[in-house]
Chains A and B, each alone.
Chain A
Amino acid sequence: MTVPGVTQKNLKIVGTRPLRPDGVDKVTGRAKFGADIHVPNMLIGRVLRSPHAHARIKSIDVSKAQALKGVKAVITCADLCDLPSEFIPAGEMMVNFKDMTRNVMAREKALYEGHAVAAVAAVSDAVAAHALALIDVQYEVLPHVMDVSKAMEPDAPLLHDDMYTIGVEPKPAMPSNIAKRVEFGFGDLEAGFAKADVIVEREFTTKPVHQGYIEPHACLASVSEDGKAELWCTTQGQFIVRAFCAKLLGMEVSNLRVTASEIGGGFGGKTVVYLEPLALALSRKACQPVKMTMSRTEVFRASGPTSGAKIWVKVGATKDGRITAAEALLKYQAGAFQGSPVQPGAMCAFAPYDLENVRIVGFDVVVNRPKVAAYRAPGGPISEFAVEGVIDEIAKKIGMDPVEFRLKNAAKEGTRAPYGPKLGPIGLVETLQAAKAHAHYRAPLKANQGRGVASGFWFNIGGETCATLNVGEDGSVAMVLGTPDIGGSRASLSMMAAEELGIPMEQVHAIIGDTSSLGFNFLTGGSRVTFSSGMAVVEAARDVIKQLRSRAAKIWEVSAEEVEWVEGRARLLGEGKDKSLSLADLAKTAGKTGGPIVGNAAINATGAGPSLATHLVDVEVDPETGKVTILRYTAIQDAGKAVHPSYVEGQMQGGAVQGIGWALNEEYIYDDKGRLENPGFLDYRIPVCSDVPMIDTVIVEVPNPRHPYGVRGVGETPIVPPMAAIANAVSNATGYRFTDLPMSPPRVLAAIDSQRGG
């Protein structure tokens, strides 16, 4: 990777707020999302799902379904490859193909209600639905376990009889539901706590919450008789889908061309596959295209939420506000297969603080729920919710302002993070200072109102990225990207390309390429796109500039070193300084100066800088109903450099409101048989427009020295502080310390009443 450090120049485009290039398509209904295409000869696929939370599959008889007129294919697990247990990194999580093939289609057992057991493709949705009813599955219902602590008990129903806890020495003698143990930290906890004047120790619980993207999963697969396959799907990563599906279907990756549709929200939940391998298997069997979409109910029952968890936190501090020791124990639900985000949760837990003595232990635990998928800063919001609650309480105990307390202990450049390395420049202190200076922080409060503050940390990632800039013969630039645009990245990446090339943004035309048009790209996730695709775009633009200089040099019959690229024009250095050629001039004559001008970059981006945030929130609690109203909200975050400030603000506002939902009302409700009772937007209550106020934002910019424009990822950090900030606010409004999410009205009222003594 050769992208150099921060470009020092007057930025003309980066930092402004142009209209997004894909905007018109999206306000006119023209943009094509996952379910928006129809092709000739297309079949409709549907999935049969387990009604049981835990059951052995004794037999599946598909003969009646197969015989139904209009049914063209029926598949079960036998139509997908079984694969050995091996771990492949995918973003912040590890992928195990033995588990993945079982998650997309149950094999020996159904492990959660909604687990796919068979699928059909038929000439219409009605015929497909009829066919599902004709499939006879014999189940042996087994005891199930939903709760993380119960699942860890030795006599708990066992989901996988070959699961032995990783990370424990010696290897346990017995299998269990505990997939993994992780530990981070350093220093001497005992000595640290001995030095403390005040110690606060609390237990917290959080519920699984769904990403809640408005677009259900959808895809269309077409496999031809000779095995060539095309797949259209809504995903955060077409290359990841290709890799996963090829593996599950036993195909060569280059024989499968995946095109990412426009994506109607993902938040991490569209980094895995559900329908895609099934649609391919059905299409392969039927030799016709197969379209599949999930209903909203299926989205809730069978696609990934994030973990519910139990967290224990203990922090000690001196009277003058210095933390002496910090300890946490995290138990995260993974769902039916290992892979909860407990590791990043453990790494983030105390990351905003400069600590001498710290230890975090985490457990990844399987339960009979859908397998968790990434959800915006996976793991971080859960552990930091607990930590920020204890930090708030300890500040209160020693009588120190909570922002002041955080400032006194804030991590900064050079601080050793609890997970090991020393941090580079980060902006936590700046966000705290901005919070302190904000009018919101001093605004008066009335009775039953409270203010809360919390900070949050997220790493951000880089990863494999390609970009191609094709200079057209008229001087326009077609920019091919491999990362789906989930919220404005065509805009931010076009801006960076235009900035480098010195041309108007409108001259750059961003296209999200399919898997055959670029080398491998990791997915849109981990807040990595503006950072790493930005680096790739900058590198590709510099590649173009290099070629343009040499083309101009050729025309002027000088060496390339004598030509500089300034404001979109090649200029001759030294004598004849007034000579210049525009991009369009050079493009026009490209055929005569060496052929097409194409800039490429294929990088593995490193040096993603963590983004830190501090949120302020005011709430009012109705003492008679327990209802919490969000009165005012201010999100402050370090963006490194905000390429398009409107979309940075949008990330901060959206994350804050998702956090408000997580804090107040969102939760999965299961009956005693392990069946989901609220698989819809009626009773899975995400915030609606009238639930929230305007979300004020303050963007702080502490440049990331590893990015040409100083960019840090910003998409994930905004969901880290809200739950703690709101819990702190509700605690301040009521005088009762809230430790369990969601803080729904019945829970809040019960807490208030318990304090009143009934």
Chain B
Amino acid sequence: MDYRSPTTAKDAAGLLAQDGAYGLAGGTDLLVKLRTGFVAPRMVVDLKAVPRLRGIESDARGWRIGAATPCAEIGEHAGFTAAWPGVVEALQLIGSTQIQGRATLGGNLCNASPAADSVPALIAAGAVCEVAGAQGEREVPVEQIITGPGRNALARGEFIMGFRLPKPTGRAGDAYLRFIPRTEMDIAVVGVGVSLALDAQGVCTHARVGLGAVAPTPLLVAAGAKALIGTRVDDAALKALAAAASAACKPIDDKRGTIAYRIKVAGVLARRAAKIALERAAGK
């Protein structure tokens, strides 16, 4: 196995285009797969030395997060945490403190687990990926990246440079909740991200709902958003949201949960997450 650490996006794309090349960001998934023999790369391309993959910035377009920025670093960024508390909640649930020191949003997304914690929150936030490759860059909404368990929409040689998130304005809030059997260290059995915005009268004008671990890919639940928009996010709207979330689930029975359990808990968590997002929005 070859180890390379390119310093430009072009070199990175060139190396990743080679047969058997795997991108390395935080390594918290790749190294486990390496060790268990699940993958046998010919080359590991460490992307962390590519400058644009690191860092958190905000500009007129909104927030930009380098795809290989460790989650711990993002969580320490006061400005971003104030803007997108739900996204930060989600990425701070990816593994332990130790994992946080290494894990990245780019890796969490490209690993393409249906249960990736950051993904439903990023979907709810309306995040867009900057996808780089030999042909230059393109922008792809987060919900279009994962195509199935362990599969993503990136072409050979492509990798994620960064994430763009809008700047929430006015009375907006987001939240992420997941269910796990313990309090930490588990893979989500269900994950729900909700973001919403209110007008001056407290009526919901915008909403997005992301669901994880309940289908082969994380889901953008349009019916969930519909249940909230135009309401005051009252009990009836929350009930409708829960029903929409449960209805969107296409889960499997596995070692982490049953079909019936996931469907039911998706509704419960959607309701609870929306309540937190509402409190955050109303508090502004």
Interface residues, chain A, CB within 8 Å of chain B?
A: 297, 624-627, 664-665, 669, 677-678, 681-683, 685, 687-688, 690-691, 744-746, 749-750
Quick check: B179 and A688 within 8 Å, CB to CB?
no
B183 — which chain A residues lie within 8 A by C-beta?
A: 688, 690-691
CB closest residue in chain A, given B189: A745
Quick check: A691 and B182 within 8 Å, CB to CB?
yes
- Asked whether A625 and B179 contact (CB < 8 A) given A669-B255, A677-B255, A683-B256, the answer is yes
B260 — which chain A residues lie within 8 A by C-beta?
A: 750
28 inter-chain pairs at a CB distance below 8 angstroms, sorted by A residue, are A297-B36, A625-B179, A626-B261, A627-B179, A627-B181, A665-B182, A669-B255, A681-B185, A682-B185, A682-B186, A683-B186, A683-B187, A683-B255, A685-B181, A685-B182, A687-B182, A688-B182, A688-B183, A688-B184, A688-B185, A690-B183, A691-B183, A745-B189, A745-B261, A746-B261, A749-B261, A749-B265, A750-B260
A665 — which chain B residues lie within 8 A by C-beta?
A: 181-182
CB closest residue in chain B, given A684: B255
From A624, A687, A691, give the contact of B268 (CB < 8 A): A624
CA distance A625 to B258 in the complex (A): 12
CA distance A422 to B189 in the complex (A): 51
Q: Besides the contacts A625-B265, A627-B181, what 16 more A-B pairs have beta carbons closer than 8 Å?
A: A624-B268, A626-B261, A665-B182, A681-B185, A682-B185, A683-B186, A683-B187, A683-B256, A685-B181, A685-B182, A685-B185, A690-B182, A745-B179, A745-B181, A746-B258, A746-B261
A749 — which chain B residues lie within 8 A by C-beta?
A: 261, 264-265
B182 — which chain A residues lie within 8 A by C-beta?
A: 665, 685, 687-688, 690-691
Chain B, residues 215-247, CB within 8 Å of chain A (1/0): the string is 000000000000000000000000000000000
A746 — which chain B residues lie within 8 A by C-beta?
A: 257-258, 261
Chain B, residues 175-195, CB within 8 Å of chain A (1/0): the string is 000010111111101000000
CA distance A665 to B258 in the complex (A): 15
Report the minimal beta-carbon distance from A748 to chain B, rounded to whole angstroms. 10
From A624, A669, A678, A690, give the contact of B184 (CB < 8 A): A690
CA distance A682 to B113 in the complex (A): 15
Closest 8 CB pairs between A and B? A746-B261, A690-B183, A624-B268, A669-B255, A677-B255, A665-B181, A691-B183, A690-B184
CA distance A64 to B256 in the complex (A): 40
CA distance A678 to B260 in the complex (A): 21
CA distance A685 to B264 in the complex (A): 22
Report the minimal beta-carbon distance from B119 to chain A, rounded to whole angstroms. 18
A624 — which chain B residues lie within 8 A by C-beta?
A: 265, 268
B264 — which chain A residues lie within 8 A by C-beta?
A: 749
B185 — which chain A residues lie within 8 A by C-beta?
A: 681-682, 685, 688
Main secondary structure of the interface of A (DSSP, over half): loop
CB closest residue in chain A, given B258: A746
Quick check: A682 and B261 within 8 Å, CB to CB?
no
CA distance A350 to B185 in the complex (A): 38
CA distance A533 to B161 in the complex (A): 63
A-B contact count (CB 8 A): 51
- Asked whether A744 and B181 contact (CB < 8 A) given A297-B36, A624-B268, the answer is yes
A678 — which chain B residues lie within 8 A by C-beta?
A: 255
What range describes how many residues of B lie at the interface? 10 to 19
A625 — which chain B residues lie within 8 A by C-beta?
A: 179, 265, 268
CB closest residue in chain A, given B185: A688
- Asked whether A682 and B187 contact (CB < 8 A) given A624-B268, A625-B265, A745-B261, the answer is yes
Report the minimal beta-carbon distance from B240 to chain A, rounded to whole angstroms. 17
CA distance A691 to B36 in the complex (A): 28
CA distance A620 to B119 in the complex (A): 30
Quick check: B184 and A685 within 8 Å, CB to CB?
no
With most chain A CB atoms within 10 A of its CB, the pick from B36, B184, B257, B265 is B265
CB closest residue in chain B, given A687: B182
Quick check: B179 and A685 within 8 Å, CB to CB?
no
CB closest residue in chain A, given B257: A746
With most chain A CB atoms within 10 A of its CB, the pick from B36, B179, B255, B268 is B255
Report the minimal beta-carbon distance from A571 to chain B, rounded to whole angstroms. 59
CA distance A297 to B182 in the complex (A): 21
CB closest residue in chain B, given A628: B181
B186 — which chain A residues lie within 8 A by C-beta?
A: 682-683, 685
Chain B, residues 242-284, CB within 8 Å of chain A (1/0): the string is 0000000000000111101100110010000000000000000
Report the minimal beta-carbon distance from B214 to chain A, rounded to whole angstroms. 14
CB closest residue in chain A, given B181: A665
CA distance A297 to B36 in the complex (A): 9
CA distance A690 to B265 in the complex (A): 22
CA distance A677 to B254 in the complex (A): 9
Report the minimal beta-carbon distance from B102 to chain A, rounded to whole angstroms. 16
Report the minimal beta-carbon distance from A43 to chain B, rounded to whole angstroms. 21
With most chain A CB atoms within 10 A of its CB, the pick from B36, B256, B260, B268 is B256
A744 — which chain B residues lie within 8 A by C-beta?
A: 181
CA distance A233 to B81 in the complex (A): 49
Report the minimal beta-carbon distance from A212 to chain B, rounded to whole angstroms. 14
Report the minimal beta-carbon distance from A302 to chain B, rounded to whole angstroms. 16
A297 — which chain B residues lie within 8 A by C-beta?
A: 36
CA distance A297 to B35 in the complex (A): 11
Q: Which of B166-218 contact A (CB under 8 A)?
A: 179, 181-187, 189
CB closest residue in chain B, given A749: B261
Report the minimal beta-carbon distance from B250 to chain A, rounded to whole angstroms. 18
Report the minimal beta-carbon distance from B243 to chain A, rounded to whole angstroms. 14
CA distance A702 to B150 in the complex (A): 60
B36 — which chain A residues lie within 8 A by C-beta?
A: 297
CA distance A744 to B180 in the complex (A): 10
A687 — which chain B residues lie within 8 A by C-beta?
A: 182
Quick check: A664 and B181 within 8 Å, CB to CB?
yes
A681 — which chain B residues lie within 8 A by C-beta?
A: 185
Report the minimal beta-carbon distance from A625 to chain B, rounded to whole angstroms. 5
Report the minimal beta-carbon distance from A728 to chain B, rounded to whole angstroms. 21
CA distance A744 to B182 in the complex (A): 10
CB closest residue in chain B, given A746: B261
A750 — which chain B residues lie within 8 A by C-beta?
A: 260-261
B184 — which chain A residues lie within 8 A by C-beta?
A: 688, 690-691
Report the minimal beta-carbon distance from A581 to chain B, rounded to whole angstroms. 57
CA distance A375 to B16 in the complex (A): 49
Report the minimal beta-carbon distance from B38 to chain A, rounded to whole angstroms. 12
CA distance A668 to B186 in the complex (A): 16
CA distance A297 to B32 in the complex (A): 12
A627 — which chain B residues lie within 8 A by C-beta?
A: 179, 181
A745 — which chain B residues lie within 8 A by C-beta?
A: 179, 181, 189, 261
CA distance A665 to B265 in the complex (A): 18
Report the minimal beta-carbon distance from B272 to chain A, rounded to whole angstroms. 8
CA distance A683 to B265 in the complex (A): 19
Report the minimal beta-carbon distance from A467 to chain B, rounded to whole angstroms. 42
CA distance A745 to B257 in the complex (A): 9
B181 — which chain A residues lie within 8 A by C-beta?
A: 627, 664-665, 685, 744-745
CA distance A624 to B36 in the complex (A): 37
CA distance A711 to B189 in the complex (A): 47
CB closest residue in chain B, given A671: B255
CA distance A746 to B184 in the complex (A): 17
CB closest residue in chain B, given A661: B182
CA distance A687 to B265 in the complex (A): 22
CA distance A625 to B268 in the complex (A): 8
CB closest residue in chain B, given A669: B255
Report the minimal beta-carbon distance from B76 to chain A, rounded to whole angstroms. 20
With most chain B CB atoms within 10 A of its CB, the pick from A297, A665, A669, A745 is A745
Report the minimal beta-carbon distance from A16 to chain B, rounded to whole angstroms. 36
CB closest residue in chain B, given A692: B183
With most chain B CB atoms within 10 A of its CB, the pick from A664, A678, A749 is A749
